[in-house]
Structure 1
Amino acid sequence: MSAAGQPSPATAGRFIAADVGGTHTRVGLVRAGGPGEAPIAVIAHRKYACRDYPGLAEILADFIAAAPGGAGAIYSVAIACAGVVLDDVVINANLSWTVSLPRLREALGLQRVLVINDFQAAAHAAQCMDPGDSTLLTPGVETIEAGPVLVIGPGTGLGAAVRVPHAGGTVVLPTEAGHAAFSPGSAREIEILRQLQRRGAHVPTEDLVSGPGLVNIYRALCAIDGIPTAHDDPAAITAVAREGDEAAREAVLTFCAVLGSVIGDLAVTSSARAVFIAGGILPQIKDFLAQSTFLERLRDKGAMQPVLERLPVRLIENDRLGVIGAASWYLEHAGTH
């Protein structure tokens, strides 16, 4: 764990990549892949519940101590995390503890700690994914034309980034799209917006399109219809929606519709030629997508509808996406930091 001494041949080139979310942190011991391997070789991987630890330093220390065969000397960490870095501290609305880069360096004896936006990392990872790691959500539309690629994902919040081809490589533009104002697309959604505005005039899109957002939709619908709320977490709402609970089912279908609308807006804004939805809550509710107006709302953008009808959308289901993305970005950019 200490930066003292020199790495042995067995540990040279190894570093830690971490994907820090509001609910879980995923950590990997990684290196660049060799001949016949994937671009990123994941030597060890573990998932942590953020609430079980007082901070990221403790999570990383636990991972290093528990790594199979020992992690060896670790000098560098690449962190994918929602938010922005200000004065060496990550500004993030969904974490219960602060990510301080100087504290990580001091606590773990690190030489280098680099941070990348979580969906910037996901955009880097998307180009490393095997087709078997994703599900096509646009039947009959799968060809990816040259151009920008949008990567988006509803988890604890809503993240998005755009990967743009540039000079023989790619440039990834991070966004804070989840904080843009929610735009309702139906009379029912206007009622939901009015309910949510009781907490404040600005209702960010991620207050609906995220795990907590599904709960917000459900609670708003119950309030509108004058019925008690019986569930307070996304998994429970999804479970009873499958059992036929009307309020829960409407909440999940509304979530899918709003997600489609948001993706369509961002695709038009970025001129995206493909969309990858990066995990989050969606794998748990993907069976509802076909029952919802997800695709109709995604494509219902006036004159741009014919363009969006040719837009392939894939759901990536790989628990290591953020770790692989952070590692890929680190290997591409470490020499410039």
Structure 2
Amino acid sequence: MTQTTSYQHQDFDPIVVADIGGTNARFAIVTHYCQQTRQFEIQHQITYPSADFQSFEAALTRFLSQLPIDRPKRACLAVAGPIKSQQVYLTNLGWHFGIAPLKEQMQFDELAVINDFAAFAYAAPYLDTKQNLIIKSGQPEPDANIAVMGPGTGFGAACLARDINGSAVMSCEAGHINLAPVTALDRQLLHALRSNLQHVSIESVFSGPGIARLYRAMAEVKGHTPMDLNASQISQLAPECEVCDATLTHFCDWMGSVAGDLALTFGALGGVYIGGGILPRMTDRLLSSRFIERFTEKGLMSQYVGQIPVTLVVQDNIPLIGAAACLHERRA
């Protein structure tokens, strides 16, 4: 897949990039960067089922052995798992590796391993605006902080912090912040959620499993007996089920408050980018919801967040672009 047009490329040392998740391991080579379009060129892309390999090293070795070009000397890997003390853990797969030993084994001169939402933050300045959806217009400040976030299997967030001295990505565990109620309905739902959860975090609601929790809480608040439904079934039944419909609408409404909170937390005057696997499948509902209103309802800081644009990212290959940007920024 090519991410650039035919402008003159600057000298560029190819980068092995990867997007490693519980289901798939995606690998590619970033071969060029185009200064005019601020786009990376991604080639030799291969996806393997993660379960086909006993270790990450085995998957990476397979990819490198199939390349029709000389093996690149630098690599950046985006992983959906924790990185602690230069050790990487992909618990759903039973994969674990050390960054330094992997660098030596694969004979890389340069190797970075980053969280998948850190990759999203690195990718933000390089996104193609034509491929994504503006949820809220605004007036972004050049070179100001950018926040990225999104509900999927869990809830992830990160910040690209920028000032006159350069930029850095701040990873965090924002998904485990206490979920704050704003409206009377929020408070009723939070009360219902607390009957089953000791700690109601952002991720408790804003994730795939969270939609089912929100549905059960909504049924309780509305006086209905909940069915045993997962997120996909809730979406399918929404056109004819009052509780399912109310659940998905309130998911989008409340997400606005959460996104506004994180925009304030990160000082994201450069914009907010929302990804994850859930909201791109419900764009019409998101656009017709109270997301924008709740994003900007911040009391004394309402004008501050009012100028921040919000973009729903549906563009492909975000982790691969972010992995390339991570190493590219080091040499910029």
TM-score (norm 2): 0.82
Q: Which residue identity does 2:313 align to in structure 1?
A: I
Q: Which residue identity does 1:185 align to in structure 2?
A: V
For the residues of structure 2 that align with 1:327 and 1:37, how far apart are their CA atoms?
15
The answer for the alignment partner of 1:257 in structure 2 is: 253
The answer for the alignment partner of 2:60 in structure 1 is: 60
Q: CA 1:113 to 1:170, structure 2 compared with 1: closer, same or farther past 3 Å?
A: closer
The answer for the alignment partner of 1:7 in structure 2 is: none
The superposition leaves residues 65-98 of structure 1 with CA deviations (integer Å, 9 ceiling, x where unpaired) of 555xx35425443122345422332357x74434
For the residues of structure 2 that align with 1:191 and 1:40, how far apart are their CA atoms?
47
Q: Which residue identity does 2:83 align to in structure 1?
A: V
Q: Which residue identity does 1:105 align to in structure 2?
A: L
Q: Give, in angstroms, the shift of residue 60 of structure 1.
A: 3.2
The superposition leaves residues 193-250 of structure 1 with CA deviations (integer Å, 9 ceiling, x where unpaired) of 3444345422221121122222321233345544242432x33322322x33222212
The answer for the alignment partner of 1:33 in structure 2 is: 33
Kept in 2, the 8 Å contact 1:192–1:220? The answer is: yes
For the residues of structure 1 that align with 2:187 and 2:267, how far apart are their CA atoms?
28
Q: Which residue identity does 2:41 align to in structure 1?
A: A
Q: CA 1:248 to 1:143, structure 2 compared with 1: closer, same or farther past 3 Å?
A: same
The answer for the alignment partner of 2:3 in structure 1 is: none
Kept in 2, the 8 Å contact 1:61–1:108? The answer is: no
The superposition leaves residues 275-308 of structure 1 with CA deviations (integer Å, 9 ceiling, x where unpaired) of 1113432110111112322111111111111222
The answer for the alignment partner of 1:5 in structure 2 is: none
Kept in 2, the 8 Å contact 1:23–1:156? The answer is: no
Equivalent in 236, 244, 257 of residue 240 of structure 2: 244
- The 5 Å alignment of 1:211-250 reads 211-222=208-219, 225-232=223-230, 234-241=231-238, 243-250=239-246
For the residues of structure 2 that align with 1:205 and 1:199, how far apart are their CA atoms?
15
Q: Give, in angstroms, the shift of residue 260 of structure 1.
A: 0.7
Equivalent in 289, 292, 297 of residue 295 of structure 1: 292
The answer for the alignment partner of 2:134 in structure 1 is: 136
The answer for the alignment partner of 1:14 in structure 2 is: 14
Q: CA 1:287 to 1:91, structure 2 compared with 1: closer, same or farther past 3 Å?
A: same
The superposition leaves residues 127-150 of structure 1 with CA deviations (integer Å, 9 ceiling, x where unpaired) of 111211211112xx3432232221
The answer for the alignment partner of 1:313 in structure 2 is: 310
Identity between Structure 1 and Structure 2 (%): 30
Q: CA 1:223 to 1:66, structure 2 compared with 1: closer, same or farther past 3 Å?
A: farther
Equivalent in 172, 175, 181 of residue 172 of structure 2: 175
SS at match of 2:140: coil
RMSD across aligned positions (CA) = 3.1
In the alignment, structure 2 segments of 5+ residues that lack a partner are 1-11
SS at match of 1:127: helix
> Is residue 2:158 matched to residue 1:125?
no
In the alignment, structure 1 segments of 5+ residues that lack a partner are 1-11
Q: Give, in angstroms, the shift of residue 324 of structure 1.
A: 0.5
> Is residue 2:271 matched to residue 1:272?
no
Kept in 1, the 8 Å contact 2:151–2:278? The answer is: yes
Q: Which residue identity does 2:77 align to in structure 1?
A: I
For the residues of structure 2 that align with 1:195 and 1:275, how far apart are their CA atoms?
30
SS at match of 2:324: helix
SS at match of 1:322: helix
The answer for the alignment partner of 2:7 in structure 1 is: none
TM-score (norm 1): 0.81
> What is the number of equivalent residue pairs in this alignment?
317
- The 5 Å alignment of 1:49-128 reads 50=50, 54-64=54-64, 70=68, 72-82=70-80, 84-90=82-88, 95-101=92-98, 105=102, 109-111=106-108, 112-128=110-126
The superposition leaves residues 153-194 of structure 1 with CA deviations (integer Å, 9 ceiling, x where unpaired) of 222221212223223532222221111111122343334334
Q: Which region of structure 1 is more displaced relative to structure 2, 272-281 or 107-116?
A: 107-116
Kept in 1, the 8 Å contact 2:89–2:97? The answer is: no
Q: CA 1:264 to 1:39, structure 2 compared with 1: closer, same or farther past 3 Å?
A: same
Kept in 1, the 8 Å contact 2:208–2:278? The answer is: yes
Q: Which residue identity does 2:29 align to in structure 1?
A: L
